[in-house]
Copies of this chain bind each other. A is one copy, B any other.
Amino acid sequence: MTEKINEAPIGVFDSGLGGLTVAREIMRNLPTERIVYFGDTARVPYGSKSKDTIVRYSRQIVRFLKTQDIKAIVIACNTATALAIDEVKEEAGMPVIGVIDPGAHMAVRATRNKNVGVIATRATIQARTYTTFINNLDPEINVISQACPLLVPLVEEGWLHDRITDEILMRYLDDVLEHDVDTLILGCTHYPLLRSAIKKLLGEQVTLINPAYETAKELEKMLAASGLANVRPMDKNEPYPYKFFVSDDAKKFKDFANSILPIDVTNARVVPIEEY
């Protein structure tokens, strides 16, 4: 019985495609864990919506994920973490981690001059969750936040290495740079795909924090601490250790998934999420 729950999958959800960068880090760093991914492609993006709406959507997703016999939940979306993590924990009744806490912890460890930048969607920035988390850990840290609403559509347009993207980044990062930050949190799951463009702009002296990676490492610790880790290596012939669900049959989902994941995503089942 214990073994059975250890072999259960991790539920991972996001407003759409971006959370796949979190799923990718879990696949890379926790190769014995199964994953059920849900992307809310019918209602994406969350970044410009209100708390009430994001809480309602997140609760529906948790109720769906619970039908998949999962053992833990990763909120692979900065906006949903910022606005709904407490409600998700309440609805879930199982271990839950979001992407903000691990990223905030790493930023606090990484900064030397106590100037930390955060770039994210408008909703994440307005919720001030990164600022609150970081200042709870170290009130002396100066957090410089910048909403960057154009970056998600730029990533989805595929303009990752592009002069226009560089110019838009320069505009968004201008204020962050003026404040002499030595650490920058990529506070939206799409942004790691712009890592090299941002690196080029900021130079080697600024540490970029990828919350997706930090979240995978934190998940590993949480599973170990709660006795939920799966220690049995996965059978290489197991047909579907990773399952994908979406709320809208966007062809883009499979294209995007296959462009960033180390596996082939051949199937993403559509779930009528409004009914949960």
Q: How far is the CA of A150 from the CA of B155 in the complex (A)?
A: 10
Give the distance to chain B from A274, nearest Cβ to Cβ, in Å.
5
Q: B153 contacts A157, CB within 8 Å?
A: no
Q: How far is the CA of A249 from the CA of B48 in the complex (A)?
A: 10
Does A168 sit within 8 A of B, measured CB to CB?
A: yes
Q: A154 contacts B164, CB within 8 Å?
A: no
Interface centre among A49, A157, A167 (most CB of B within 10 A): A49
Chain A: interface residue count, which band? 20 to 34
The chain B residue with its CB closest to the CB of A123 is B250
Q: A48 contacts B150, CB within 8 Å?
A: no
Does A248 sit within 8 A of B, measured CB to CB?
A: yes
Which residue of B50, B152, B248 is within 8 Å of A53 (Cβ)? B248
Give the distance to chain B from A188, nearest Cβ to Cβ, in Å.
13
Which residue of B50, B247, B248 is within 8 Å of A249 (Cβ)? B50
Q: A250 contacts B150, CB within 8 Å?
A: no
Q: A52 contacts B154, CB within 8 Å?
A: no
Does A252 sit within 8 A of B, measured CB to CB?
A: yes
Q: How far is the CA of A44 from the CA of B43 in the complex (A)?
A: 7
Q: Render A193-228 as a binary contact track against B, CB cut-off 8 A, 1 for contact.
A: 000000000000000000000000000000000000
A74-99 interface with B by 8 A CB criterion: none
Give the distance to chain B from A125, nearest Cβ to Cβ, in Å.
14
**Which residues from chain A sit less than 8 Å from chain B, CB to CB?**
41-44, 48-50, 52-53, 149-150, 152-154, 156-157, 163-164, 167-168, 171, 247-250, 252, 274
Q: 25 A-B pairs, CB-CB below 8 angstroms?
A: A42-B43, A42-B53, A44-B48, A48-B156, A48-B250, A48-B252, A49-B248, A49-B250, A50-B248, A50-B249, A50-B250, A52-B248, A53-B247, A53-B248, A53-B249, A149-B153, A149-B156, A150-B150, A150-B154, A152-B153, A163-B167, A164-B164, A164-B167, A164-B168, A164-B171
